[in-house]
Copies of this chain bind each other. A is one copy, B any other.
Amino acid sequence: MKEIVAGVDIGGTNTVFGLIDKKGKIIAEESLKTTDYPKVDDFVAALVSDIDKLLLQKKEYKLAGIGIGAPNANYHKGTIELAPNLSWKGIVPLTSLIMKQIDVPVVLTNDANAAAMGEMIFGGAKGMKDFIILTLGTGLGSGIVINGQVVYGHTGFAGELGHTIIVPGGRDCGCGRHGCYETYASASGLVRTVLYLLSEMREESILRDIQPSELTSKKIAEAAAKKDPVALEAIDYTAERIAFGIINAIGFSSPEAVFLFGGLAQAGEMLLVPVRKYVEMNVQPIFKGTVKILKSGIPESNAAVLGAAALIWNELK
């Protein structure tokens, strides 16, 4: 029998899981509603039962392990801790709960670290030992790989670049602090930048006709594609701030590449070109020309499940 793993992506609303082979091919995929299971024990029972059902349909495969990506996950402990978007309160020992039900290795990390593993095993970072992935969604997640290993740190929570401060006293952040990287370098950061620029600039803009609560990064990207001056300026401003965090990360770990992923990264070269320009302009001289800025090589739609699968494949090596 051929070996296969399960990759599980736990979100606040849905949990998506699949069976993935060594090459990153998704053999089967399913989902369940996370919100249907206010008790974690019930969730675990349903998840294990559903994975078993998938395996019954694919009798030529044998399950070798389960990899999980989840918010506020602690890799060292196998726990989910104080996740604001999940109904399971406190510290949830998820991997041990699952291993009680099914006798395979189970590993757990947060979404961005799983994305980094996906990039390394199945994506654009194949063969790289030092790289960083930035997931530019509503917030900014990051996964850091050094010497071929995801950085978890002493606590298991390392790689929180979204909450490194890039502008002292800058924008209010959901974490209660100010000027965090994600308040500039994310989809919601781009929206805030448009609002700021609408105050600074006098140019006509179609963005003046959208109420702030309805403004999205997608609408801004569409406006930029139509050469709207405020949208273009906002993307340039955002690229400069994305570059700013990348520059500081380069000083820390000198990666071979930085991969951009997530909603904002879908803007593609329109964003990547100015990010590269600002990195090269402003990085320390010793690092000039040493870092590739790339779009993630993993398809957005399957990234979380593939990342979780890569996590466990890497452990099984």
Contacts and interface: CB of A to CB of B under 8 A. Distances in A.
Interface in A112-161: 129-130, 144, 146-147, 149, 151-161
B146 A153 contact: yes
Nearest to A248: B164
Given A284-B175, A285-B175, A146 B155 contact: no
A71 to B, nearest CB: 12
A255 interface: yes
A154 B251 contact: no
A256 interface: yes
Q: Mostly helix, strand, loop or mixed at chain A's interface?
A: loop
Contact of A151 (B168, B244, B253, B256): B253
Nearest to A130: B154
B176 A144 contact: no
Count of identical protomers in the assembly: 2
A157 B129 CA distance: 15
Interface in A237-263: 244, 247-249, 251-256
Given A160-B284, A251-B163, A290 B177 contact: no
Nearest to A255: B154
A163 B177 CA distance: 23
Interface string A275-304: 000000010111100110000000000000
A244 B177 CA distance: 12
B282 A153 contact: no
Nearest to A81: B286
A251 B290 contact: no
A166 interface: yes
In the A-B complex, the 10 residue pairs with the closest CB atoms? A153-B254, A158-B254, A154-B256, A164-B248, A164-B251, A130-B154, A160-B251, A155-B254, A163-B284, A155-B290
